[in-house]
Structures are given as C-alpha cells and as structure tokens.
Amino acid sequence: VVMTQSPLSLPVTLGQPASISCRSSRSLVYSDGNTYLYWFQQRPGQSPRRLIYEVSNRDSGVPDRFSGSGSGTDFTLKISRVEAEDIGVYYCMQGSNRPPLTFGGGTKVEIK
Amino acid sequence: QVQLVESGGGVVQPGGSLRLSCAASGFTFSDYGMHWVRQAPGKGLEWVAFVRYDGSKTYYGDSVKGRFTISRDNSKNTLYLQMNSLRTEDMALYYCAKHVDLEDWGQGTLVTVSS
C-alpha cells in the first residue's frame, strides 16, 4: 500500500490552522471493521511520536488542537491553531494491510 | 514510564555485520510485539521488521529480507536486530518501537555503512 502525503512542505502562521492530507492506494478498512491509520510527529532532532491512532483517536498527552479524520483512502490531520512547538515533520502510516507497515513521505510544517 | 534504549550502532564496511539491541523498561516487555524502523539521513521513515510478543513470528520489509534477523530475549527485556551483508543504503538511524501500532519509540542508534 502506497501512502501519499500532501503538501510536502507547509508554511504556517502561528495561531492559524493547518491541514495535512494522506491518501492510500488501497482502502484501509480492515476485515474487523477498524481502520488502522496513524499520524506521527517528528520534531527537529527528536524521535517520532505517535499523535493519532485509528484515524481519529488522540494519544495520551496530545493537545486537543490536533485532530484526525477521514475514511477509506482519504485522511486528514488538522491543527486548529499552530503553536511553535508543532514545528516538525508529520507522517501518516497504515497498518491495515500489513506486512509491511507503510509510511507517507512526510509533511514538513514550518513557520511562514 | 516506558523506556526504549537502542545501542550497537557504529561504522561498518559494506558486506559487514552489526547487531543492534533495544533495552526495554517500564512495561511488561513479554506482552508486546516490537518493531524496528529506520530513517536514512534527511529521509522519511521505513519499517524494517516486527516480532510477535513471544518471538513466534517475524516479518520483514522487502529491502532487508534474507539479510536481517529480528529476535528478542524476554528474560532480558531486550530486542535485537542482526544485520548481515550490509549495504550503503542500510545507513540510517534505527529505532525500536513498542507494540503493533508503534505507540512508543526509542531515541535511535546510528548505523553508518562506508568503506
């Protein structure tokens, strides 16, 4: 399954919203009815951190300005109001058609 | 507090071997499957391998199949990645990650393949 993210780079203004798209080459609805689509954040110089699991569930400690949505093959990560600590690269990943797990190419969020 | 600490990275010549380790603490290691994921310099994330909680099954990415072996020692709370026949394209930061859905990650260990 190929995961395609857009845009590649996302210049943002602090306090403004941001949106990242992730598309899969095949439906991510698994046979159990769940959709195993995840979002990870990688801040500069840090390890990846999971933000969202199964499309829309925020991990513990993740601010509620982050939200995930979508279904089938089209998914979106939204940041309602970008803060300075949100700068980094964001990856989507599918786990519905595994192995292998596959990641999107990443979207770099930077200050405009 | 979950901790995953990778080690074993270093410089190796093409065709050489290296064994990475990931020491786990803060959770019941033997209850969770574990992954290796790598990131080449300036590039994105690539899944490498997965081992089930009890070591009974393993899975590999196509780029490492037949050359890398993932294993675990639940008595030592440690995950391993044996890497043989290393190529320049294997040069990356290697992360271990907990559970089928990568809910926690280590800080990574750097593998450099160069003559």
Could you please report the per-residue DSSP string of chain A? Answer: --EEEE-SEEEE-TTS-EEEEEEESS--B-TTS-B-EEEEEE-TTS--EEEEETTTEEPTT--TTEEEEEETTEEEEEESS--GGG-EEEEEEE-SS-SSPEE---EEEEE-
Amino acid at B96: C
For residue range A10-55, list pLDDT tens digits in order.
999 999 999 999 999 999 999 999 999 999 999 999 999 999 999 9
Please check the confidence at residue B100 and state whether its pLDDT lies above 90: no
Q: Residue A103: its chain B contacts at CB < 8 A?
A: 44-47
CA-to-CA distance for A36 and A29, rounded, in angstroms? Answer: 7
Please check the confidence at residue B46 and state whether its pLDDT lies above 90: yes
Tell me which residue in B59, B60, B108 faces A47 most closely, judged by beta carbons: B108
| B47 shares contact with chain A (CB less than 8 Å) | yes
Contact A100 B61 (CB under 8 A): yes
